[in-house]
A and B are shown apart, each in its own frame.
Chain A
Amino acid sequence: DTAVSQTPKYLVTQMGNDKSIKCEQNLGHDTMYWYKQDSKKFLKIMFSYNNKELIINETVPNRFSPKSPDKAHLNLHINSLELGDSAVYFCASSQLGLNEQFFGPGTRLTVL
Chain B
Amino acid sequence: QQPVQSPQAVILREGEDAVINCSSSKALYSVHWYRQKHGEAPVFLMILLKGGEQKGHEKISASFNEKKQQSSLYLTASQLSYSGTYFCGTEMGVYGGSQGNLIFGKGTKLSVKP
Contact = CB atoms under 8 A, between A and B. Distances in A.
Interface in B15-41: 30, 32, 36, 40-41
B77 interface: no
A45 B106 contact: no
Given A98-B49, A103-B43, A104-B41, A43 B87 contact: yes
Interface residues of B, number: 22
Interface stretch (B58-66, B68-76, B96-104): B96-104
Nearest to A93: B100
Contact of A90 (B32, B42, B101, B107): B42
Contacts of B102: 45, 101
Contact of B30 (A44, A48, A98, A101): A98
A100 B42 contact: no
Interface string B1-15: 000000000000000
A55 B99 contact: yes
A40 B106 contact: yes
A94 interface: yes
A106 B43 CA distance: 12
Interface string B71-102: 00000000000000101000000000111111
Q: What's the interface size class on A, roughly? A: 20 to 34
A44 B104 contact: yes
A90 B41 contact: yes
Interface in A26-51: 31, 33, 40-45, 48, 50
The 9 closest A-B pairs by CB, nearest first: A100-B44, A103-B41, A43-B104, A98-B98, A56-B101, A103-B42, A97-B98, A41-B107, A105-B41
Interface of A: 31, 33, 40-45, 48, 50, 55-56, 90, 94, 96-106
Given A33-B100, A96-B100, 11 more contacts: A40-B106, A41-B36, A43-B87, A45-B101, A45-B103, A48-B99, A50-B99, A98-B47, A100-B44, A101-B32, A105-B41
